[in-house]
């Protein structure tokens, strides 16, 4: 129900815009992300952008995850 999908804004015309979801383009309401423009990634929920994705935070999260020590796969143990 709260499914939100990340997509890239390809065009903005006032309150509405076109968002690209890995090749599939859909109209989205951008009223709640007035700061977002073409090239920005947003989370879209039921046709509304609710959040602009923060590239720096995304990279930081991945860096934290990659810093967790690796090693032999013991999952099946």
Partner 1 sequence: MRYLDEYRNPELARRLVREIRATATRPWSIMEVCGGQTHTIVRQGIDELIPVRMVHGPGCPVCVTPLATIDRALAIAARPEVIFTSFGDMLRVPGSGADLLSAKARGADVRVVYSPLDAVRMAAANPDRQVVFFAVGFETTAPANAMAVLRADAEHLDNFSVLVSHVLVPPAMAAIMESASVDAFLAAGHVCAVMGWTEYEPLAARYRVPIVVTGFEPLDLLEGILMAVRQLEEGRFTVENQYARAVRRTGNTFAQDAVRRVFRVSDQTWRGIGEIPASGLVLAPQYARHDATLRFGVGDVSTSEHPECIAGEILRGTRTPLDCAAYGTLCTPRRPLGAPMVSAEGTCAAFHNAGRIRQETP
Q: How far is the CB of 40 from partner 1 (least distance, A)?
A: 12
**Given the rule CB under 8 A, which residues bind partner 1?**
1-4, 6, 8, 21-22, 29, 31-34, 41, 43, 45-48, 50-51, 53-55, 57-58, 60-62, 64-66, 68-71, 73-75
Q: Rounded to the nearest 5 degrees, what angle is found at the Cα of 44, between the Cα atoms of 40 and 47?
A: 120
Q: Identify which of residues 18 and 50 has a Cβ nearer to partner 1 in the complex.
A: 50
- Which structure tokens are listed for 75? 């999952």
- Contact criterion met (CB below 8 Å) for 51 and 41: no
């Amino acid at each position: 129900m709260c499914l939100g999908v990340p997509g890239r804004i390809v065009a903005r015309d006032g309150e509405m815009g076109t968002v690209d979801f890995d090749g599939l383009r859909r109209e989205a309401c951008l009223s709640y992300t007035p700061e977002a423009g073409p090239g920005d990634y947003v989370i879209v929920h039921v046709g509304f952008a609710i959040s602009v994705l923060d590239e720096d935070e995304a990279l930081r999260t991945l860096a934290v995850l990659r810093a967790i020590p690796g090693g032999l796969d013991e999952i099946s143990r």
